[in-house]
Amino acid sequence: DDKRKKEAKENFTRYLEDGLLKKEKNELAKNKYVENADLSLKTAHELIKNDLKPYIWVIVISYYAMFYMANAVLLHYGYKTKDKIAHKVTSDALIVLVVDKLKKEFLEMYETSQKEALEIANTKAEGIIESYDLELDKRSRFQYNMLEETKENKAQTSLKRASEFVFELKFKSFRIGFY
């Protein structure tokens, strides 16, 4: 929403000033992030099939697939997060740097139905980025509270979100110039 976008923009500026986000290009690191995102998704898919039902790890690994892909995109734009509060910095930077580009891509995809496309594009682009925040929060709650009653559907949701997030940022990025 607009309040979250405003907060992210203010934080983004502060992160640059405080050195939590640096201007940096690094193709090797960007490629490694993409590789880590793919490996994380593959691992999460394998774990979800496991009879041991390690749902907490499906959630954690799915989140990290998103985190890695997000950081690859940020590096493409010339920004590198530093270690301190990297997850929050990544989240805010995505909102500031990526959401509008995804909106544009989705608008082009759905240009035959312009009114519907605007709604779909806004919802889809914001939903993709919002899913990162949701998984960041979920991963923190489950990883640190270690709730044994974690349900399979939460793990399935995490994996679905991560798969869509990585796909959208990875494959749509070719059309909007991420890579």
> Mind listing the pLDDT tens digit for each residue in 32-47?
999 999 999 999 999 9
23 vs 109, which has greater pLDDT?
23
- pLDDT at residue 114 tops 60: no
Instruction: Tell me the Ramachandran region of residue 177: left when phi exceeds 0, alpha when psi lies from -120 to 50, beta otherwise.
Output: left
CA–CA separation, 20 and 138 (whole Å): 23
Residue 112: per-residue pLDDT? 44
- pLDDT at residue 110 tops 60: no
pLDDT, average across residues 73-83: 94
Query: For 7-21, 72-86, 134-148, which range has the lowest pLDDT when averaged over its residues?
Result: 134-148
Whole-angstrom CA distances from 40 to 9, 44, 65, 105, 168 are 29, 6, 5, 26, 16
Residue 22: per-residue pLDDT? 96
pLDDT, average across residues 103-116: 60
Amino acid identity of 72?
A
Classify residue 39 by burial, with Cβ atoms within 10 Å: 0-12, 13-18, 19+. middle
Helix (H) / strand (E) containing 121: helix 114-145
CA–CA separation, 126 and 122 (whole Å): 6
- pLDDT at residue 134 tops 80: yes
Helix (H) / strand (E) containing 118: helix 114-145
Residue 82: per-residue pLDDT? 93
